[in-house]
Structure formats: C-alpha cells, structure tokens
A = this chain, B = another copy of it.
Amino acid sequence: MATKEQIKDSAFYCFAHYGYEGTTMQDIASAVGLKKQSLYAHFGSKEELYRAVMKEQYRQIALELYDAYINLKEKPVEELLKGLFMKYAEIFSDRRRLLLWKRAAIHLGSGDTKHLSSDAWPVEYSFMEELHKTIREPHPTLEDPAVFQTFIASYQLMIQGYLEWMLVKGHDNEIWKAVWTSFWRGAMSCLCAN
C-alpha cells in the first residue's frame, strides 16, 4: 500500500476512536512508522487529512448503499427496505465507520463550526429521492406526504437506533431480525389503518 494510503488508513482509525481533537499527528505517524513531520509531505494540515478521510468514507458508504439499492429496487418494498437495513448493519460492522458516523451526527447537532462534516449527510441521501419514488408506487396510502414522511422517519429512526445498539453491544442477528419484524408489522398496520 502506498504511504499516502497507509496514512489515511491510520488516520481513519485514530479519528474514529479518539475524535478530531483527541487525535495527534504523532498518533497517526507512529502507527505508520513515520515521524509526524513527514505527514506534511502528503497532507497540508491535520484538517486536510481529516477531510480527506471523511470524504473518502462518505463516498464509499454512499456507493455501497447505492449498489445495494440497485440490486434490490425491482423487488417488493418489504424486501427492498429489509435489504437496505441489512446493508447498513453490514457497512457499519466496521467499528471505525460506526464511530465516525456517530461523531459526525454530533458535529451536525452541536453547532460546532470548526471541522464540520459539511459534505457528510447529503452524500448518503443522494439516491433517497429515487428510493422514495420506488417505495411510494405500490402503496397508494403513501401518496399522502404526511403519511409518507412519518413512514420514512420510522424507518430511518429504526436504523439509527440499531446502529446505536451496535455501537454499545455489537451486532446481534436475533435482535436485528426482531427489530425488523416489529418495525415492518407496525408500519404495515399503520398504513392499513389510515
């Protein structure tokens, strides 16, 4: 692996585990086996390195999600949403990604201006518009924007809740399945009741 990639990889680990302020150039360099000053031959500053890591990760995550979506979009909505939920669990079984993701959410919510994850959230949802259309079609109840919004909110919320669970207790197939089943039945009964 090229040195620049090794640095990014090490930085990925450190930023995820210790946060931006909690990580020093020293930490990153040590893991690669370099002096910290040498990092500046590859990245102009700590912040530039951080942004490079974030950008790559978000791009990668968005790609993997979109890829899953493409493979699932012809299937019934239940299978599609279940498959995407599974993809989330798969993607974030990488602890570094999970930590980075959760930290980014805090940056978004804290009004912390400094090293915002400005490019972050939008990227993930680049195909969301398309996904929404796919879901709405076979379910006329979802034509109502208010109903649709709460449906999607419940879905996203379940996913974020499960990621929180993974963060503290790790992935658990039984729990995953139970959560999905409960969500889907609840969502369906709400749709039919409206």
Interface residues of A in 170-193 (CB under 8 A from B): 174-175, 178-179, 181-187, 189-190
CA separation between A22 and B110, bound complex, in Å?
12
Number of copies: 2
Closest B residue to A98 using CB positions: B109
Chain A 16-60 per-residue mask, 1 if CB under 8 angstroms from chain B, else 0: 111111100000000000000000000000000000000000000
Q: Which residue of chain B lies nearest to A111 when distances are taken between CB atoms in the complex?
A: B17
Q: Which residues of A in the span 143-170 have a Cβ within 8 Å of any Cβ on B? A: 146, 149-151, 153-154, 156-162, 164-165, 167-168
Minimum distance in angstroms from A143 CB to a CB of chain B: 17
Q: How far is the CB of A117 from chain B (nearest CB, A)?
A: 11
A105 at the interface (CB under 8 A from B): yes
